[in-house]
Structure 1
Amino acid sequence: MAVPATAEEVWESVATGPGYRRWFVEAELEPRVGGTLVTHHGDFGDSEGTLPGWRSALRLLAEFHTHFAGRQTAQALVMREVPAGHRLTVLLGLDGAVVGQQATARAEAGGRHLAVTGMVIEASGGPTGEGPTQQDSVVLRVADGAAPGVYEFGTMQYGETRMSVVRGYLHVPADADPGVAEAAQAARAVEHDWAAVLDALLA
């Protein structure tokens, strides 16, 4: 998709405070390393965090095109409410993941064994105590397997509600015939498998 704007203008329209409001929720954001991001989630309350990094618009857009250019994509999303102090990255063996190195998210529960291996492209951590900044996540770029793409595993605070999140931005494998149905089918399978595992882990 081509848009009549520069990379910087696209970044401004989707990734700043006013930009967040266009596609997500009301938000205030300080655009700098160590800046504060506050998002407002209605009845769920507010979520506040600190930006561990502030990457250029050009780099982010280049990464997006590296992952997804010319491919049909679909999103998988599983969210479960969890108790205070819960950290999904620890349960999946991702605690201490290092950007630029390989890591594997592993889970075995409910008769299922899941393993997702990829290059760590983001790793952020928050305090382990209670509070609005209690958040950590690891993002993996996965090139192989039946459902390649970019995966995020994390735990996030939304006001008084704490949620574990598995999110995948999946694309059609390079050797498959391109089509939305294939990507969507892979996304639904990922959701089904991770929902069953999270439910078993949290039971």
Structure 2
Amino acid sequence: MSDDPTARLRSNEIEVPGTPEEVWRAIATGPGHAAWLFPADIEPDEGGAMVIHREPYADAASATVQTWQPPHRFGYREPIGPDRKPLTTEFLVEATRGGSCVVRVVSGFYHDGDGWEDLVDGAGEGWRMALTVLRAYLTHFAGLPAGNVDVIVDLGRPAAQRAAVSARLMELLGLSDVAAGAAFRTPLDAPDLTGTVEHVSEGYVLLRAVAPHPALYAISCFPMADGAPLSANLLARLYGAPAAVAERERARWQNWLVDVRRAFDE
């Protein structure tokens, strides 16, 4: 963490399989980035342009590559909010024993003033979840391209109800009281998935599906912005599936989550 008194930063790290070069391809190239997080256009040099395609969760974001030191440091800054303060994100990759690496993500702001804590905390929570997807991708699907299935549905409930709403969402998916490493199969009235639970935390589950297609499904329940209602958020990456299959999956999950929203309203 920085000693700069203006720093408002959060740090998360995770150990992943692979060499620094393999990890670098996953975090600092467009195809790698899209296979576990968001599609991105990355100009590979300091000062290079970068566009992160976060739809439907948020608008596409323009950023500038701030640090480019392959295969160990990659950072960028993107303007945030009406006053365009730059949100800084930096990846640090360090090799460890046994053919793995520690990936550390530091995100936040460098400026004086209050009022940024919720945004910084939210970014930190988002990276905690995203890094579990990176680990699963590098463990099971490294180097494979992915079809994107991204869905967000407003559940119409305040953030204070997150625990109860998350528990109900997981119940409807047949995932109540599951633990990492457990086999799962969704119930008949939910989209069909079979596989293994990769990670579980409050309001978040990461599933590795073997059927109907090899895939990672990150399902969460939290507000996408300060003051926003809770939403059900799905980020899924299908490996080896045609684009038409990904589009069918997106429609299937969209329809099911809309039905979940109606059930909460009844």
Same fold (TM over 0.5): yes
For the aligned pair, the TM-score class normalised by the smaller chain equals 0.5 to 0.7
Decide which of 51, 67, 73 is 1:9's aligned counterpart: 73
Scaled by the length of structure 1, the TM-score of the pair is 0.60
Trace 1:125-136 onto structure 2 (pairs within 5 A). 125=202, 136=203
1:172 matched to 2:240: yes
SS of residue in 1 equivalent to 2:200: strand
| Contact 2:73–2:90 (Cα < 8 Å) also in 1 | no
| Contact 2:154–2:232 (Cα < 8 Å) also in 1 | yes
Trace 1:17-166 onto structure 2 (pairs within 5 A). 18-19=88-89, 27-28=107-108, 38-39=118-119, 47=122, 63-82=136-155, 83-84=157-158, 85=161, 86-87=165-166, 88-106=169-187, 108=189, 113-125=190-202, 136-145=203-212, 147-157=213-223, 158-160=225-227, 161-166=229-234
Following superposition, the deviation at residue 118 of structure 1 comes to 1.8
Structure 2: any 5+ residue segments left out of the alignment? 1-21, 29-68, 78-86, 92-106, 110-116
Following superposition, the deviation at residue 196 of structure 1 comes to 1.1
| Contact 1:89–1:153 (Cα < 8 Å) also in 2 | no
Q: What amino acid does structure 2 have at the position aligned with 1:28?
A: G
Instruction: Provide the rounded CA distance (Å) in 1 between the counterparts of 2:252 and 2:184.
Output: 20
Instruction: Provide the rounded CA distance (Å) in 2 between the counterparts of 1:50 and 1:72.
Output: 26
Scaled by the length of structure 2, the TM-score of the pair is 0.48
Following superposition, the deviation at residue 152 of structure 1 comes to 1.3
Q: What amino acid does structure 2 have at the position aligned with 1:151?
A: Y
1:190–1:151 Cα change, 3 Å: same
Bigger radius of gyration: 2
Instruction: Provide the rounded CA distance (Å) in 1 between the counterparts of 2:118 and 2:238.
Output: 28
Instruction: Provide the rounded CA distance (Å) in 1 between the counterparts of 2:133 and 2:219.
Output: 19
1:106–1:60 Cα change, 3 Å: closer
1:63–1:167 Cα change, 3 Å: closer
Following superposition, the deviation at residue 20 of structure 1 comes to 6.8
TM-superposition CA deviations, 1:3-52 (whole Å, max 9, x none): 6723x435x679xx73279xxxxx539xxxxxxx9546xxxxx837769x
Instruction: Provide the rounded CA distance (Å) in 1 between the counterparts of 2:136 and 2:231.
Output: 27
| Contact 1:92–1:107 (Cα < 8 Å) also in 2 | no
Instruction: Provide the rounded CA distance (Å) in 1 between the counterparts of 2:257 and 2:125.
Output: 27
Alignment partner, residue 253 of structure 2? 194
| Contact 1:74–1:187 (Cα < 8 Å) also in 2 | yes
Following superposition, the deviation at residue 172 of structure 1 comes to 0.6
1:50–1:77 Cα change, 3 Å: closer
Following superposition, the deviation at residue 153 of structure 1 comes to 1.7
Instruction: Provide the rounded CA distance (Å) in 2 between the counterparts of 1:104 and 1:96.
Output: 14
Greater RCO, 1 or 2 (C-alpha within 8 Å, sep 6+): 1
Instruction: Provide the rounded CA distance (Å) in 1 between the counterparts of 2:254 and 2:135.
Output: 31
Q: What amino acid does structure 1 have at the position aligned with 2:146?
A: T
Kindly, what percent of the aligned residue pairs are identical? 19
Of Structure 1 and Structure 2, the greater strand share is in 2
Say what the alpha-carbon RMSD is for the aligned residues: 3.7
Structure 1: any 5+ residue segments left out of the alignment? 22-26, 30-36, 41-45, 126-135, 174-181
TM-superposition CA deviations, 1:130-168 (whole Å, max 9, x none): xxxxxx1110111232x3210012211232221111221
